[in-house]
Amino acid sequence: MTKLILVRHGETIWNAEKKFQGHTDIVLSAVGLEQASLLADRLALEKIAAVYSSDLNRAFVTAETVARRHGLPVTGLPALREIKFGDWEGLTYTAIHEKWPSQLSGLFTSPSEIVIPGGESFHELKKRAADAIAELVAKHQDETVVVVSHGGTIRTVFCSILDINLNHLWEIRQDNTAVNIVEYYDGRALIALVNDTHHLQK
């Protein structure tokens, strides 16, 4: 059995300010750094063989915090990045709504069909993320692997595993440093845990 521990990055200032991040390389906030430390505590006893991450700082630093406990390096993979929000990056919901009201509405009602100005589609995100995960699972047979990524990316991975329409994307919750576990048996995936953040409870 291959165990994939799929984690969303810690909080950034832009998360707190409700700004769209996408490929913009925003660092963790003080809260996010604390979340990453608590995540590392939680995963300290796992027998982790490798740690992979989106190459964006907010994910990579979260991954490094976990990997340090296990004496492991972090391998950054651009394919694990968040969706590219293009012209929306750095803007709040309100600012985007003022200029692109119909497109923003479509982001939440029909993400499968939305075209983000200057960005990419969720279909493109789903393909690159699913391909990357498949490669990692094939490479680490019968091992436990940590993959740190982003909320939108993780949601598309679940849509791919469950073979459900991307319009169900936002029905899957992903909080900062949420732990998700997917187990692979003979090529078949079993989702064993979703959006678990009990390590943040004090």
> Which residues are the active-site residues?
9, 150
Run of H or E including 104? helix 101-109
Distance CA 169, CA 108 (A): 9
Q: Between helices 122-139 and 151-162, what is the axis angle to 10°?
A: 80
Q: Which two tokens stand for residue 72?
A: 């492991």
**DSSP-derived secondary structure for 112-154:** TT---TTS--HHHHHHHHHHHHHHHHHHTTTSEEEEEE-HHHH
What lies within 8 Å, CB to CB, of 195 at 6+ separation is: 172, 173, 174, 175, 178, 179, 180
Of 73, 82, 62, the closest CA to residue 200 belongs to: 62
